[in-house]
Amino acid sequence: MTDQTPSDDTPRNPARAIALVVVAVLLVLTVLYALSDRIAPSSSRGIVSAHVVQIAPRVSGEVTQVMVKDDAVVQAGDPLFSIDTRPFDLAVAQAEANLTSTVQGIDASAASLVAAQAAVTQARTALDTTRNETDRILRLEERGVASAAQGDAARGQLADAEARLATAKAQLESARRQLGPQNAENPAILAAQAGLERAQYDLASTMVRAPHYGVVTNVSLSSGQFVGAGNPALTFIDADTAWVTVDLRENQLQAVKAGDPANLLFDAVPGKIFKGRVQSIAWGINPGRNVQGGLVVNQPTNRWFEPARRIPVRIEVEGGMDAWPRPARVGGKVHAVVFAGGEGHPLAWIAATLQRIRSVTSYLH
């Protein structure tokens, strides 16, 4: 018998080599995934956000006219809807008669006082609207969204409104002094004057106006409908401020900070990448813990792993609203990549390339 030894030409099992290659690729991909989550975190859970305000009247009454249509664009001060003025006209007439009666009771004239008080109420109402608009523009100027010229114009309008109110108050004080030193501080006159101012303010509030430039949506008001004071009647969206809210996992936020550059891909604008910048990171979220009887309710779970918590990150488009994509609507979907490690890193290039590919495929879904 002759001994047979294994030949060196015996073919090896290729499955082992393939398995080693697969394991090596998986390890590399895992490491790249972990690093990219820290250096260039991304998420497809971005949402177009804006200031959404529920417009409510200051007084209760029956709607007599709706001046806007659904999804209409309005400017600051534009009338939205009006409330029946008849009860408030009567209240003003009663307050004027009360003031006249009080003043005549002390042998003085009330005509100039009534007119001066009406001018103060009108100036104060105009100042409230101007102040709200100015505060909003100044906040936008601080973030670089509004220009310095817009901020200066807003300051000028506010100063003008304040000057008009000061002039009206001076005229009111002059009218009061004409009653005489003792009568000007008469408690009965002061009470009647305050009642007239309240009635005039309520009458002016029957016309509900837009707080600033924006869009009204979900308009369901109609003439004859009764609305209560403080109850939402219209939905108003600020058209001068919009941003993207992206939910990132907690372990993705290790290197993210305000000012980091970002790329934004809007589903409403497929094929185009917008430059953005991290504006802020939320300091907290509601974990959804319920409380009953003053104690936190235990939340049993049958999951092997607790899902990661996600923290909202606010990203604004570079260039402000001038660069904002007009087709994007509030609540729209956005894919975002934050370059926490800078845009010159190889992992940042990979993340940007993958997002670019995603922007092309976004035409299909």
* Average model confidence (pLDDT) across the chain: 83
- Please tell me the class of the 57-84+206-231 domain: mainly beta
pLDDT band at 111 (very low <50, low <70, confident <90, very high): low
Q: Is the pLDDT of residue 121 over 90?
A: no
Given a contact cutoff of 8 angstroms between Cβ atoms, the answer to whether 121 and 217 are in contact is: no
Beta-carbon contacts of residue 331 (< 8 Å; ≥ 6 apart)? 47, 48
Average of per-residue pLDDT across 294-322 = 80
Question: What pLDDT does 181 receive?
Answer: 54
What letters, b where the CB count within 10 A reaches 16 and e where it falls short, cover 16-33? eeeeeeeeeeeeeeeeee
pLDDT band at 245 (very low <50, low <70, confident <90, very high): very high
Average of per-residue pLDDT across 158-187 = 76
Whole-number Å distance between alpha carbons of 70 and 220: 8
What does CATH list as the number for 39-50+241-294+309-361?
2.40.30.170
Stated pTM of the model: 0.67
